[in-house]
Amino acid sequence: MSASAQAAEKSVLVLIPAFNEGASVAALARAVLALGAGYRPLVIDDGSQEPLEVRTLPTGTLLFRSPFNAGIGVATHIAFDHALAQGYDHVVRVDGDGQHPAERIPDLLTPILEGRADLVAGERVNQANGAGLDKGLRNLAKTYYSAIASLLTAGKAPIDVNTGFFAASRHAIERLRVVDLERFPEPQMFVSACRLGLRVTTVSIEQLDRSQGSTSLNLARALAMFYRFNLFFLQQIIESGRSWPAR
């Protein structure tokens, strides 16, 4: 049986966090529903200036509109809560701006369905694309995150710890639920998963061009993310105490 057919038998909640992303979200939800009956898109409108309307989304899509911008960490928690309450077997996250190929979701689920992993990261092979100083700084920050994540997890964390395209098994959801996920939570989530003893693996994907909206990661937020990650790093060192670096 193919991974896609297996996933269709089990239920997959596909989280689509959206912030001012409009039309691309509906297209993404349609693409998720086209994967099979077991796939349920969950759109979380994270305080968009023009809130998403249910009628603009295809039938079978869950929509929660947050009255304020709470961040992707909270959106992820909402998806985890819902998956556990409603008995979903897996949670997949794809970005609402259309950068993640929805047709690769079954590939992301394959290692979990084969019992090889609890958490699968969609590792972007073309993440270093771009131009200018912005590209240089971004790549430098990503290299730093990756190096620190690798150090904290003894090389178990994926190289692309900033990817927002991931799949989690029910076991991973239950374990990660207790982690306080913050705004831009990806590095924190992957590091925590490794340190909680979850099996983390990667599937290579090609990131697409943004079809709608713009990144919410401006300079101030990038600095805040950098600060937060370093605090998280320090906290992990303090918590692990004598056992650091992680074995």
Partner 1 sequence: MARTLIILVLLLLFLLLLRRRLIHVDLSFPWFVAIIVLGFVYNNPLVEVVLVKILVVAYPIYAVLFLTLFILFGLVTAVLIMVTRDHRRQVLLLRGMARLDLARQEAEFAGKRS
Residues that bind partner 1 (CB under 8 A): 42, 44, 60, 62-64, 66-67, 70, 74, 77-78, 81-82, 85-86
- Per-residue tokens: 41: 């898109």
Supply the Cα-derived Rg of the chain in whole angstroms: 17
The CB-of-6 to partner 1 minimum distance in angstroms stands at 22
The CB-of-79 to partner 1 minimum distance in angstroms stands at 9
Instruction: From 119, 88, 90, 104, select the one nearest 28 (Cα to Cα).
Output: 104
**Closer residue to partner 1 (CB): 90 or 156:** 90
**Closer residue to partner 1 (CB): 42 or 161:** 42
The CB-of-117 to partner 1 minimum distance in angstroms stands at 27
**Closer residue to partner 1 (CB): 85 or 133:** 85
The CB-of-70 to partner 1 minimum distance in angstroms stands at 6
The CB-of-137 to partner 1 minimum distance in angstroms stands at 29
**Closer residue to partner 1 (CB): 70 or 196:** 70
**Closer residue to partner 1 (CB): 49 or 59:** 59
